[in-house]
Amino acid sequence: MKNVGIRFGAEMRLISVILFLVEFVRGAVLISLLPIYGTKVLGLSLDVIGIAITAHYLTDTLLKMVIGYLLDRFSIRFVVRTGLLISLAGVFLIQFANVAWLFILASALYGIGMSPIWIVCLTRVSGDKRASQMGFLYTVWLTGLGAGPIVCNILLDYYVNGTYFLLLILSIFAAFLAFFMNGAKAGGQQIQAIPLKRQLVALTERIKAMRMLLPGMILQTAGASMLVPVLPSFAERELGLAGAQYSLLLTAGGVCAAAGLIPMGRLSDKLGGKKWFLIIGFAVFAAGLYMLAWRLPFWYCLVIVVILGLSYAAILPAWNALLAAYVPPKQEGLGWGLLSTVEGLGGMIGPLAGGILAASFGSRTVIWVSAVLFGLIALLYVLIPATKMNGK
């Protein structure tokens, strides 16, 4: 227990600061800087910007398993530091990327650099308090990811170039902090004694054991990500919300999600009810989305968004604790990299599906389809035996 306490002490505080900086810059870059800086300063078209954002998610997702393997072979300090330096190179290139291919390359490089830090977080928390600790890390992640676009949007109204250089400086600072990280491997020093072939066999066995969970893994990230391209237009055209009202809804949902993560994580650890946390969380999330699509007045929408945020807070720590049961011991890097890649497949499919549905049937249909998907996921977890939710 002493070693666990040390891990979640000074080391995790440093990792948490780096995670916050990385997610702050990521949210600001993807949601605000690339679209606004790309059009206003670099003069690029929206289709190029869309391809660049896709390139970011593509490299981030596809490289997660490779990054996980590297974390089991090299020190986390080396892998994270190298990744953040590559990410820094991507941010640095943006200012010169007034041609499409360079802009897309810069965004893709940025995606490569984002992969290691979150996988490190997944490998460095203790098993007995995993939901509580992941609740804390999810709070850091969500706060950074949400604060980045808000701050960036405000600054971009006044200082476009200044905002870019602020994000560049924060990227440099995150890479600098990585030099002070622990020099151990993600799965411990003993990992060198396990041949790659044996690791792959063990991972294959775990994937077979969790095959009932795989549809839910992909569907839940697809259901969430398909909302991303349609939410602004849905809020404006279907709900009739002004920009300030839409920002208030996003802030309320984000604050409730962030505030609920640690208490929900502790409650999940205490009760040991991962299955029912997931079932209730996904069911409530589905019901909230369904109600949101009925064009209710603003104050009703605000209540619904608060409920959505709290249900999201119930899902995340329990879901991570569930996945942790399927990661082979001493193969945490490769294991989490593989699971993150599977989850990322839904994140790559979702925005494309959401855009096609919105173009064909309207943004309201996308909200309903997403609600149905989350309802099906809740039903799926009702049907899955409890032993499968414990890694058996």
Q: Which residues contact 369 (CB under 8 A, 6 or more apart)?
A: 226, 357
pLDDT confidence band for 316 (50 / 70 / 90): confident
- Can you tell me the mean pLDDT for 219-247? 75
pLDDT confidence band for 189 (50 / 70 / 90): very low
Percent of the chain having pLDDT more than 70?
A: 80
Q: How far from 339 is each of 63, 222, 252, 326, CA to CA, in Å? A: 12, 15, 30, 9
pLDDT in the model for residue 388: 63
Q: Token pair for residue 66? A: 């490779």
Q: Token pair for residue 49? A: 């910007």
pLDDT confidence band for 191 (50 / 70 / 90): very low
Percent of the chain having pLDDT more than 90?
A: 16
pLDDT in the model for residue 185: 59
pLDDT confidence band for 161 (50 / 70 / 90): confident
Q: What is the pTM of this model?
A: 0.68
Give the separation between CA 288 and CA 213, rounded to whole angstroms.
23
Report the chain's mean pLDDT, rounded to a whole number.
Answer: 78
- Can you tell me the mean pLDDT for 88-104? 90
pLDDT in the model for residue 304: 93
Name the range with the highest mean pLDDT among 23-32, 241-250, 290-299, 349-358: 290-299
pLDDT in the model for residue 273: 62
pLDDT confidence band for 334 (50 / 70 / 90): low
Burial of 85 (0-12, 13-18, 19+ CB in 10 A): middle
Name the range with the highest mean pLDDT among 87-96, 156-165, 253-262: 87-96
With a cut of 70, say whether residue 243 has pLDDT above it: no
Higher pLDDT, 392 or 9: 9
Q: Token pair for residue 345? A: 């497949």
Burial 192-203 (b: 16+ CB within 10 A, else e): eebeeeebeebb
pLDDT confidence band for 324 (50 / 70 / 90): confident
